Structures are given as structure tokens and as C-alpha cells.
Amino acid sequence: MPCCHPASVNLDVANIYYSLTKMLRPLLIVEIGCFIGFSTQHFAQAIKELGFGRIISIDAFDWDVDAGRGMQNRFDVAEYYKNKANVGAIVEFIKGYSTEVYPAIADQIKQKIDLLYIDGDHSINGVFADFNTYYNDVRVGGFVILHDIYPEMCGVDGPRALVDCLKAKHVPHNIELIEMQTKDGFGIALLRKINDKPLQVTPIVKLVEKSWWRLINALPLRMSRTSFERQIIIQVVDALTQQPIIGVKMICPQRFNEERISDSNGLINLSHYLPNRYLMDFYAEGYQDARNQLFDISSEKFSGIVRLKSLS
């Protein structure tokens, strides 16, 4: 449905949630922020196929949307598709703000959460509040998923701030954490709880305004920077003259056929987030196509040269 993405997660991401649920075999999933239940459906389908487990999905449901049946409150849309998918016995939608409804469901979830999904209030205060309210009820060995961790793509700061705070203070002592780039660039982080130490996490700096760049510039130097900050620089030159070629089209199939065009210096810049091997195709008028060019990156090498042969 047109209303789904980007308000809902990308389909490829939802399929990751489905597969992860099948592998983790959780008895209880708590979801914070479901929009109209698209991610919920993927968690629920896996639970349905497993034959055990349930989902508590919390959302404010505070505005309406047209999901193909006219304007409806998002709660009604989520309920409709829950019943249509025959997962009514698996999913319980709770209307309200996550921190406010916690006392009402505390007895159901106390130290019982196998998978916690945080995709609600994306402000810094909101994400930290969700994490601090629910993390201690995640079982040891359980997982937490954070959506929208790359603010330069999704335009929100909270999840990134939480990830970097955890990296600075609690990884690897209390949590294992990996970041994953996604097709839409929004990204997800997967956290695994490795001990029962209670955590209450606060932002590294107090922000005057919601600004990701104000936060990242204030982080301690010992903090590992994220992959999107590392830039790959490729120069495309004429194989005979070694002069830069302007307007070369680069296509990277591994990055969902992402395209880049070389600038006036023959340079192509792109962020580095895949494992250190990139397969690329290069096309330029008057030159032979250069397909399946393998760019192998090391920790010391983030630049390279591609030489195209002229057709003349």
C-alpha cells in the first residue's frame, strides 16, 4: 500500500524481522511503534508458523491514515489486518504511549521479553525513555532491535544517539551490537543482552536542540565512528592518457543498483557500509564498458583508480 513505506519499514527489513523471529523462537515480543501493523504482521507470521509465542504491540495510534479503505485511525487499520491474517490470538495492540502504559502491562512482561523492537518516538528523549523503560525486562540472551539508526537518511536523531551511547559505555561489557544498512538507508541495529546487569542509559551530552551533528561532534574520541562516515573515493581515468573522465556512470549491484556519476575531477564518492568488497560497473560515452570491477578495501585503503579504454 502506498501509505506503508517509509512510515512503515521497508519490505526487505520486514522480511529480516520475520526470519530473525523464526531463528530466535521467542515466547514474547514487545513492539514499540507499529504504525499500521506492517512490521507486526511479519513478526506474527513467524510466530504463527512456529506454533507458540505472542506479541504485545504498543503505539499511540494518534492519527488517521488511508490504507485503502478510506481514512481510519491506525488502530482500526492494524486490527483489521491482524484479523485478516488470522493472528488475532497472537497479537495484542495496546493504544497509548509506551512509558505510560508500562505499569498496566508490567506483570505480563516482567523479565520475560525475548525480543524488544523499538520504533516509536524517534526523538533522543523518546528513544532513551523506551530503552530505559523496557530493557531490564529483556531476558539474558534476548535481543533488541532499533530502527532508523542513520539520521542523514531518515532524518531522526534518537536511535543513533542511543547506539553511540551504548557503544561508548556498555559494549562489549553488557551488550553485543551490530549495525546493518538497509535498502532505504535508514538502517537497523541488533543488540543482544549478555548479562542481567540493570541499565539506565542517558545521552552523552545534553542537547540544546535536536541535532545529530551537535551530538556526534561532542562524542569522545575513543568512540568508534560509524560506517557511513567512511567515504570510498574512486577516480576514473583514461587508460591511455591518465586524464580524469567526467560523467562516468557507476552502478553497484550490491547496493541495490545504486548509481553515482563522476565529477569534474573524475571522482566518485560513496559511503562505505558493506563488507570490504564492492562489485561495480562503469559506463562512459566513448569508452568500453568496465563491468564487474572488484574494489577490495582494506583498513588503510579507501580509494582506488579505474582505467577505462577509449573506443577510438
pLDDT tens-digit map of 183-211: 888 999 999 999 999 999 998 754 434 44
Percent of the chain clearing pLDDT 90 (strictly above):
71
pLDDT tens-digit map of 52-73: 999 999 999 988 888 878 889 9
For the 11-218 domain, the top CATH level (class) is alpha beta
Domain ranges across the chain: 11-218, 230-308
Q: Is the domain defined by 230-308 classed in CATH 3.40.50.1370?
A: no
pLDDT tens-digit map of 139-174: 999 999 999 999 988 889 999 999 999 999 999 999
Residue 82 contacts by C-beta under 8 Å, 6 or more apart in sequence? 37, 40, 41, 44, 88, 91, 93
Which of 20-24, 269-273, 306-310 is predicted with the least confidence, judged by mean pLDDT? 269-273
